[in-house]
Structure 1
Amino acid sequence: MSGVISGFTVIFIVVGIGYILGRTRVLGDGAHGVLSRLVFFVSTPALLFYSLVTTDLSVIFSSTLVIAGGCALAIGAVYAVIARLWLHRTIAELTIGAMASSYVNSVNLGLPIAIFVLDDASFIAPLLLFQILVYSPIALVALDATSAEKGSGSSTLRNAVVGPITNPIVVGGVAGLVVSLIGVTPPHAVLAPLKMLGDASVPAALLAFGLSLTGVAVFKKGHSPRRDIALATVLKMIAMPALVYIVARWGFGETGSHLFAQVVIAALPTAQNVLVFATRYRQAEIMARDTALITTVASIPVIMIISVLLA
């Protein structure tokens, strides 16, 4: 239980610092956009490349990959269908909403919980790599294609094809996977600066999240898309852990610590990277921000309940 509290304390402190920086305007009025672009174009690609090059990829070929990845895609698809039929959202809005309902905060909260609560960081690795190599590229392809629709003629076709494959996050993940698969270890002089830049990804994303909260009211009537946020929150905090429990328990026969780990991972809140993506493409930013904050708060009692029931 102390690991859960410790993990959330780290997040709230850094987000709080970002909020204070926003309130005092120490970094200027455009700090949120600048930090978000830094995370999107530099820090996250560097983090993905370094993580994949230095990680034993055999850990991803496990039941956790199938369970966590499959359930995440399923919950995201459920959100997209409901939001399309009920709320009539655009493809870009559906993409951000689907990620908000199923894209797990696997780094800045997932790793501390995996270490302190589950006592094994390898539990989070399959989901982290799935989100890097599968989920993010799918979402970014949809967002890039949607952005390309604003063009015309040959430029639209060119942007729709070239945009996704030149996306820095996709490039970083694919490059890291290729280097890892061929067994080449880059020299220290190359890995060291990538690690340095990658280490900035999580704190910068959290600071950007705190900056985005400045001067706004979360879940404000008439301003926030409350139905979208409520739908994403319910799916993330209730439906996803329940689905993972069902699939892991009766689909794969898992029990004990493995079952507990699967459900705890599914109950992690929405990743702040969803807000980074939303800011980059200027789509559903309020929805991404509010869902990330609400699920972060809600995940505390949810994970504690899971710990009491399954630990």
Structure 2
Amino acid sequence: MQAVALAIVPIFLVIAIGTVMKRTKFPGDEFWPLADKMTYYVFFPALLVENLSKAKLGDIDPTGMLGALFIALLVQAGLVYLLRPVVKVDGPGFTSIFQGAVRFNTFVGLAAVAALEGQAGITVFAVAISLAIPVINVMCVLTLARYGAHGHGTSLRSQALFLAKNPLIIACATGAALNGLDLTLPPGIEPVFKMLGAMAAPMGLLTVGAGLQWEATRNAGRSVGLSCALKLLIYPVVLYALSRFWHLPPLETRVLVLWGAMPSASSSYILARQMGGDAPLSAAIITVSTILAIITMPAFLLMLGM
């Protein structure tokens, strides 16, 4: 228990520092959008390229893990659609519940996996990202196209361009290609990627804290509760069950359970604003799920003996 606490607590302390910095307006409101952009377009892609390019999976065959993750994503999406009549929300509200239940906060997950599993965990996490990001984005864009108030750019061509320009997908493809061709980053370039990648987790966690919208939680109701329950309780159970069914090794099982217990991602709010979702509801789901993840992440690890 102590090891889990020592790994998880610092993650949320850094998030709390980001919240305090934002509320005290240090270093200024204009800093946070730029920091978020730098993390998304530079720091995290650098980490993915550096890790995937030199990843040595050895005896690990990621096929089972990726299969379990793909089925879990379909199950999670199906559950949200099945429960829609129970929630009784409008179309935009449903899209926000959907995004909250299926999207994951990459930065929280990265920090947790790195703290608990080290370099091997980061590599497995990066492999999982290469599947999850395109699948989740397609699911969310299609849902917003169907139920959002003013979905736009939802043709197949627009969706393909949207995914093709995603910096994380580009980074995963680049790293995997280098690895597959048995190439490495040049000696003078690899340290640059390593240094930039080392900034991904701390800067990402600070921006997560700065992005929390406490005012949005005041009207949090059943919709927020359902989305958070699906994301933080049901999802990790589904992933654990599939991991056992596939007889996945302990490392892959722990990474998948951590994946399921992650809070929802801030990108839900951005996409909701762009495509006619319920942006205030998305903000509330992100904030509440981040707070609750302080409990659910270590709880699942402890209950499952990890």
TM-score for both structures, normalised by structure 2: 0.77
Report the equivalent of 2:287: 289
Between the aligned residues of both structures, percent identity stands at 18
CA deviation profile, 1:76-106 (whole Å, cap 9, x unmatched): 4423543487434448535522334797953
Bigger shift: residues 259-268 or 132-141: 259-268
Please tell me the residue identity of whatever aligns with 1:299: M
Q: How far has the Cα of 1:67 moved from its partner?
A: 2.9
Report the equivalent of 1:205: 204
Report the equivalent of 1:118: none
SS in 2 for 1:185: coil
Q: How far has the Cα of 1:180 moved from its partner?
A: 1.1
SS in 2 for 1:108: helix
Task: Name the CA distance, whole Å, in 2 between partners of 1:102 and 1:157.
Answer: 26
Task: Name the CA distance, whole Å, in 2 between partners of 1:245 and 1:9.
Answer: 23
Report the equivalent of 2:102: 99
Task: Name the CA distance, whole Å, in 2 between partners of 1:181 and 1:158.
Answer: 28
Please tell me the residue identity of whatever aligns with 1:186: L
Q: Structure 2 unaligned segments of length 5 or more: list them.
A: 274-278
Report the equivalent of 1:135: 132
Q: How far has the Cα of 1:144 moved from its partner?
A: 6.4
- CA root-mean-square deviation: 3.5
Q: How far has the Cα of 1:204 moved from its partner?
A: 1.2
Q: Structure 1 unaligned segments of length 5 or more: list them.
A: 116-120
Report the equivalent of 1:55: 55
Q: How does 1:24-63 map to 2 (within 5 A)?
A: 24-57=24-57, 59-61=60-62, 63=64
Q: How far has the Cα of 1:242 moved from its partner?
A: 2.8
Task: Name the CA distance, whole Å, in 2 between partners of 1:237 and 1:159.
Answer: 31
Q: How far has the Cα of 1:241 moved from its partner?
A: 3.3
1:198–1:176 CA distance, 2 compared to 1 (3 A):
same
1:97–1:84 CA distance, 2 compared to 1 (3 A):
farther
Please tell me the residue identity of whatever aligns with 1:304: L
CA deviation profile, 1:99-140 (whole Å, cap 9, x unmatched): 34797953101232235xxxxx6466434412x211112233
1:252 aligns with 2:251: no
Report the equivalent of 2:71: 70
Report the equivalent of 2:189: 190
1:288–1:303 CA distance, 2 compared to 1 (3 A):
same
1:270 aligns with 2:268: no
Q: How far has the Cα of 1:69 moved from its partner?
A: 4.5
- How many matched pairs? 290
Q: Which of 241, 253, 260 matches 2:236? A: 241
Q: Which of 222, 226, 233 matches 1:227? A: 222
TM-score for both structures, normalised by structure 1: 0.76
